[in-house]
Amino acid sequence: MNTLPMFSWLHIARLGLVQACMGAVVVVTTSTLNRIMVVELALPAMLPGFLVGFHYLVQMVRPRMGFGADQGRRCTPWMMGGMFVLALGGFLASLATVWMAEQLSQGIALSILAFMLIGFGVSACGTSLLVLMSKRVAEARRAPAATVVWMMMIVGFAVTAITVGKLLEPYTPQRLLEISGGLSVLVVLIASLSLWNLEGPVDSATSEMAAVPLEAQPEKNQGFKKTLHMVWSEPQAKAFTVFVFLSMLAYSSQDLILEPFAGALFGLTPGETTQLSGLHHSGVLCGMLAVALAGSGRVAGRLGSIQSWMVGGCWVSGLAMLGLCVAAAYGPPWPLKPNVILLGMANGSFSIAAIATMMRLATAGGDQHAGTRMGLWGASQAIAFGLGGLLGTAASDLAQYVLAEKGTAYAYVFGFEVAMFVLAAACAIWVGRYDRQGTEQRHIPLVVGHRKDLSHEY
């Protein structure tokens, strides 16, 4: 049993800095390098799209990374190692982009290696960070803590994008390499300082376990495949995996087509569509803050449970997407901006509620499989994000080709996302049902001679 003290807000902020460092590296590779490949190098947009999708595909290793953290009983080495690999991959991605201007095939080969390292780094650092939070953040603080950490990641996105954008003017390959190299060194230093002595010494329970021979340690001696099968056989873990996939698939499918949709059907300029995207992100932030308030210690339960915010966020997201279906059918008379703000608020509320639930379920029944559970859910999210971006744009293009009508094409894509959000809400209810069953079973009176062993439930 874990006897270490729970994290304070200062500890949580330090983890937020690590998350911000991850975001700083990723935003350069997915946005800045994307633009350089397409605009400065005049390469097909499919190339950066493939590379971003590939880094999501690599993140299928998350369960194995989480299993490794479980076996080692410590998360800091995995977070620090992941950050180093991520920083190296970020720099190599910039180097590959510069190399493409002279040797295209060699540059593409190096970029594939770079994005593979980025996927590995995000998997190791991100999974272990969530595992550590699930083990060391008190239940009353989980929703606010998730909001703090994810807001710091968003700040890392924004600050890095703005700063790198200014430093790259005027653009030269040499300047890109200098900025990328400096950023990689900086994030490793900040992460190292943030993680220094954060996790603390190994607890006594772990020390006692370490003194037992390896063959006598059932959890240590258990292979990855057997552990993953055991986790997948848990009904609640399986239900939550499906929920993560469906909700993130719906969330990510609209990300790449919202601005083109607003420009094509509502006649918005590039600047106006960028502002529309900003309104969506502002709504996401408001939704996150609302769940943080609802889950905080003083008002916990008064504004609804985390479970109700997760279900309600998916329902309202589906309702907002249905509004976009109507917008696609009727065009400018529809109040697009309020619709997008509502969508953002619903997206933010269900995503933070899902992260808080993830932290709770990861340690249900003990910490021994927390990393494997978290890795399974992280892999589900990564696959959904990779598929969402591809399916959203591909379905839109295909629908326009078949139907020869942009409004109807976008309506079909948004309708698909409505269905995904409704199914995700049903899965969220499914997840909550196991909580109620566990509560009822814990209150069943024990009859002498017929004691029921509930140790397998949690």
How does DSSP assign 321-336, residue by residue?
HHHHHHHHHH-TTS-H
More confident site: 37 or 112:
112
Q: What percent of the chain has pLDDT over 90?
A: 38
Residue 223: helix, strand or coil by DSSP?
A: coil
Q: Is a pLDDT exceeding 60 seen at residue 352?
A: yes
Q: pLDDT grade, residue 422 (50/70/90)?
A: very high
Write the DSSP symbol of residue 216: G
**Mean pLDDT calculated for residue range 359-364:** 84
Residues 420/317, Cβ–Cβ less than 8 Å: no
Residues 235/427, Cβ–Cβ less than 8 Å: no
Which CB contacts under 8 angstroms, 24+ apart, belong to 45-51? 47/108, 49/389, 49/390, 51/93, 51/111, 51/112, 51/115
- Token code pair at residue 200: 């603390």
Predicted local distance difference test score (pLDDT) of residue 323: 95
H helices then E strands: how many in the chain? 18, 0
Residues 373/241, Cβ–Cβ less than 8 Å: no
Q: Is a pLDDT exceeding 60 seen at residue 210?
A: no
Q: Is a pLDDT exceeding 60 seen at residue 219?
A: no
Predicted local distance difference test score (pLDDT) of residue 202: 56
Residues 314/428, Cβ–Cβ less than 8 Å: yes
C-alpha span between 152 and 16 (Å, rounded): 6
C-alpha angle 124/226/432, rounded to 5°? 75
Q: Is a pLDDT exceeding 80 seen at residue 452?
A: no
**Mean pLDDT calculated for residue range 21-31:** 88
Q: Is a pLDDT exceeding 50 seen at residue 338?
A: yes
**Mean pLDDT calculated for residue range 55-75:** 86
Q: What residue spans of 331-405 are helical by DSSP H?
A: 336-362, 370-403
160 burial class (0-12, 13-18, 19+ CB within 10 angstroms)? buried
What are the pLDDT digits (tens) for 306-328? 889 999 999 999 999 999 999 98
**Mean pLDDT calculated for residue range 429-456:** 53
Predicted local distance difference test score (pLDDT) of residue 396: 63
Sign for the pseudo-dihedral over CA of 391, 110, 126, 24: negative
Reported residue count of the chain is 458
Q: What is the mean pLDDT of the chain?
A: 83
Q: Which CATH number fits domain 220-439: 3.30.230.10, 1.20.1250.20, 3.40.120.10, 3.40.50.10090?
A: 1.20.1250.20
Q: pLDDT grade, residue 399 (50/70/90)?
A: low
Indicate where the chain has its CATH 1.20.1250.20 domain(s): 7-197, 220-439
What are the pLDDT digits (tens) for 368-391? 788 889 999 999 999 998 888 777
What are the pLDDT digits (tens) for 249-303? 988 887 767 877 888 888 888 778 778 888 888 888 899 988 888 877 665 566 7
Q: Which of 404, 283, 301 is nearest to 350 (CA)?
A: 283
C-alpha span between 233 and 230 (Å, rounded): 5
**At residue 313, what is the residue type?**
G
Residue that has been written with the tokens 């399916």 in this structure: 391
Q: Is a pLDDT exceeding 70 seen at residue 438?
A: no
Q: Is a pLDDT exceeding 90 seen at residue 421?
A: yes
Residues 6+ apart with CB under 8 A from 224: 63, 64, 67, 372
Residues 175/167, Cβ–Cβ less than 8 Å: yes
Q: Which of 187, 235, 248 is nearest to 378 (CA)?
A: 248
Cis preceding-peptide flag for 332 (omega within 30 of 0): no
What are the pLDDT digits (tens) for 72-121? 778 899 999 999 999 999 999 999 999 999 999 999 999 999 999 999 99
Q: Which of 43, 154, 155, 34 is nearest to 94 (CA)?
A: 34
More confident site: 209 or 302:
302
Predicted local distance difference test score (pLDDT) of residue 332: 83
Instruction: Determine how many CB atoms are found less than 10 A away from the CB of residue 307.
Output: 17
Q: Is a pLDDT exceeding 90 seen at residue 200?
A: no
Q: What CATH number should be reported for the domain whose range is 7-197?
A: 1.20.1250.20
**Mean pLDDT calculated for residue range 38-53:** 82
